[in-house]
Structure 1
Amino acid sequence: MPSPSRSATALPLLCIFTLAAVPMLNAHDHGVTELKENRRPQHRKNLRVPDLPGYKTLKCDFHMHTVFSDGMVWPNIRVQEAWQEGLDAICITDHIEYQPHAKDLPTNHNRAHDIAKDPAAQSNILLIRGSEITRGTPPGHFNALFLEDSSKLVADKGAAADAPALDAAAAQKAFIFWNHPGWKAKQIEGSYEWIPFVDKLHQEGKLHGLEVINGFGFHRKALDWCIDRKLAVMGTSDIHNLTANDYDFANGRTRSMTLVFAKERTNAAIREALEAGRTAAWSSEYLAGPEELLQGLVQGALSIGPVHHTDAKGVSYREIRNDSDLTFTLLETGEKTGLPDTIELHPGTTRMLSSANMEAATEKATYHVKNAFIRSETNLTVKLSALPVK
């Protein structure tokens, strides 16, 4: 009897392996196979931003919208996004005077906060009640935080109601900040200035902060106004769509936010820090805020290692580390030391330094932080010798 061909013997084996790849039927699944592997894992990104001595660094977004004004999402989505992206606190600030969805949803200025309240508590997200007071530009838009009842704010859009609209928020002892001061600088001449209306608010103690970073805009002049008048530096997303739709998270970007240096992780502590001006604005690579606070972030994020090797030519080697999710681009200034002119420290990275005269070079080396601003045209300055050695 002739022996079977190789192809004849391979066919049954092929059938066996093909059948083995098909999921086994489960008598208890009622004929429905669950494809759990397709679900997106539910996890929270742990944003690594250093605490400052005596303070916790809270990641906060105090400007966002839902379908209860001109946003595109239900309020609980804002909570889900905040949890997934590593935030500590949020404030939904739907417009009072602008209600484009009024034909589809009844106007209820407290409803977005009320819907988000339980999901926020379950997700360990601090939720603050707030609203956006939406006046014509100038004077522009203002956010009011820590409101008691948003329905008591002024809905009249007329210019005559501009001052009463802010007074109504002040009557509730709200923390008020001026939103995106330069958003119409090109269209409306004179709108991006320290205008009399805003100055009067400030003089009366009704203005407490300025939005220096709003979404994808860095309003640099506003930083100077904050520093000169000791107002809180605010950074916000002003998000209307899904954050994942607008921000390039796949390439490591973060939403724009406020870093609040609070005594503890509570709403009351956030308010105390805001009123004291212990804040900085952060948006991916960019930082803006008072010099002493940004120096604290640098000291907490960066460290320099001891010399770990000296070669036969007398060249010594040591590392500089960034243990945070902040980005630091260091540009050497002043006397050249032989160390790199530029040191790029992306989140969670380490760079190698080498020098034939390492101790002297480290002692002299001074760098501007290109992406950290203490005024509109002034970068933070750091000395390598001031960094902690670890």
Structure 2
Amino acid sequence: MKVALNLFITRNCSFNHSLLALLKLKIFSNKPDNICIDQYMKRFITQSLMNNLHKKKDVYELTRLNNLFTRNEINIPGFDDYRVLKCDFHTHTVFSDGLVWPDGRIYEAWQDGLDAIAITDHIEHRINQDLLNGDLNQSYKIAKTAADDMDLIVIPGVEITRDKPLGHFNALFIQDANLIEKEDPLDSLAEAKKQGAFIVWNHPGWPDNNVTLYPIHEQLITKGIINGIEVMNYKDFYPKAINWCVSFKKTIMAGSDVHCTISGMYRNRFRPMTLVFAREKSEAGIHEALLARRTIALFDGYMAGEIQILSQFVKSCIKIKYMKNSCIAVTNVSDIPFHIFNEDDSYMLPERKTIMMRIPANHLWTLENCFVKEDSKLSISINELRLQ
């Protein structure tokens, strides 16, 4: 474990110093994790009370600068009886080719306001294998301990990694990653399905910037092997893949595919994530929603989803109020901006803001940042929106 910690520290010199303190405390203490975290929070948070500054001492810890246990809440309403779970189903750790320890991924996700992540380390690509002890399930086990403390859901997974034309696939909700390691990637996919996995075709436009549906993918779709397709990954958006999801009835997905620390990647923007409309906050609830295709891909202000799901979601986010001057007040109650095209006018509706606009003669809007197909944006009648 000391070797693993040293590797983690050297590869993450820019990572939050507080997290390293927590990792040291956990690794070199025999106490349960929850006790270690309690001690950590007591040291770095409790002492920030102002009355401590009135006590004369040699060292004052400016703990208000510490944001490890500060969560950026993302306010997104659900609809009907569904709640929105913010999920990243594609992350990597030092147990494949990532630069972060598994529980570091949990703290990052909690800080970013997520409800669930999947640990999807590569089966075939493990650059630290000679340094780290543990099998293909080890990264999930480490992450799970931290996730339970943080009330975050972590989903077991792996990434089956081959060159095009096959490409990369995430297997989610697996039982034993070790059994999925096969020489033939099709055997790996078959074993994952045997374990009840939800299979995602990852970043279909990488690495050659060509989004191509090869015959092998058509075969996997026909056989029911592929359940979902990433239409957003890392910094890329693949509108063409939305068409495949709609045509083949596959779940629309987005994932960060994060390998390094995520804090420096997206700054004040959301990471790529999948909005899951679930009946309950649980692993089973997420699994059921993915199989039912109740998802929206979200990244950089753009959304992609099936028209029924996306339209219901927009209706839950936007409210209107009719004014006396042939205008309407339009309120966005979510943390997601909307780009509204209204006849010949274009409006930006920022997150948690109200704007004024004229009532369109046809009462129709086009949501320019809401994709239902490659070349089709969501259209909605203002008569369908809720009144304030």
TM-score by length of 1: 0.82
Give the AA of the match of 1:119. Answer: A
Are 1:215 and 2:234 matched, yes or no? yes
1:62 matches 2:86 = no
Please report how far the alpha carbon of residue 216 of structure 1 lies from its aligned counterpart in structure 2 after TM superposition: 0.8
Find out whether 1:184 has 2:194 as its counterpart: no
Where 2:158 maps in the other structure, the secondary structure is: strand
* Deviation of the 1:47 alpha carbon: 0.8
Question: Aligned to 2:103, which of 55, 71, 76?
Answer: 76
Q: Distance in 1 between matches of 2:157 and 2:126?
A: 16
> C-alpha distance in 2, partners of 1:179/1:144?
10
- Is 1:373 aligned to residue 383 of structure 2? no
Tell me, yes or no, if structure 1 residue 167 matches structure 2 residue 186. Answer: no
Deviation of 1:54 after TM superposition, in Å, equals 1.9
Shift of 1:275: 0.8
- When normalised by structure 2's length, the TM-score is 0.82
Q: CA deviation at 1:24?
A: 6.8
Task: Give the alignment of 1:95-174 within 5 angstroms.
Answer: 95-106=122-133, 108-156=135-183, 161-174=184-197
RMSD: 1.8
Q: Distance in 2 between matches of 1:37 and 1:261?
A: 35
1:184 offset after TM fit, Å? Answer: 2.7
Q: Which one-letter code corresponds to 2:369 in the other structure?
A: N
Cα distance, 1:284 vs structure 2:
2.9
SS in 1 for 2:90: coil
Deviation sequence 1:291-344 (CA, Å, 0-9, x none): 01110111000011132xx4xxxx3443101110111101124xx6xxxx0110
Whether 2:320 is the aligned partner of 1:301: answer: no
Q: Relative to structure 1, is the Cα distance of residues 364 and 169 closer, same or farther in structure 2, using a 3 angstrom cutoff? A: same
Q: 1:137 to 1:303 in 2, by over 3 A?
A: same
The one-letter amino acid of 2:191's match is A
Counterpart of 2:23 in structure 1 is none
Cα 1:100–1:107 change in 2 (3 A) is farther
Cα distance in 2 for partners of 1:132, 1:148 equals 14
Q: Identity of paired residues, percent?
A: 38
Partner SS for 1:347: coil
Structure 1 residue 332 and structure 2 residue 332: aligned?
no
- Offset of 1:32 from its aligned partner? 3.5
Shift of 1:224: 0.4
The counterpart of 1:237, out of the listed 242, 256, 266, is: 256
Q: Which amino acid aligns with 2:365?
A: Y
CA contact (8 A) 1:58 1:87 kept: yes
Separation in 2, partners of 1:342, 1:254: 24
Looking at structure 2, the residues matched to 369 and 193 of structure 1 have their Cα atoms a distance apart, in angstroms, of: 27
In the comparison of the two structures, how many residue pairs are matched? 336
Output the CA distance in 1 between the equivalents of 2:313 and 2:226: 26
Amino acid at match of 1:177: V
Aligned twin of 2:246: 227
CA apart distance, 1:105:
2.0
Q: Look up the equivalent residue of 1:127 and give its one-letter code.
A: V
Letter in 1 for 2:255: T
What pairs with 1:263-278 in structure 2 (closer than 5 Å)?
263-278=279-294
Separation in 1, partners of 2:186, 2:73 = 41
Aligned partner of residue 364 in structure 1, secondary structure: coil
Report the alpha carbon displacement of residue 103 of structure 1 after superposing the two structures with TM: 3.0
Structure 1 gaps, min length 5: 1-22, 355-360
1:61-87, CA deviations, whole angstroms, 9 ceiling, x for partnerless residues? Answer: 100001011111011111111111111
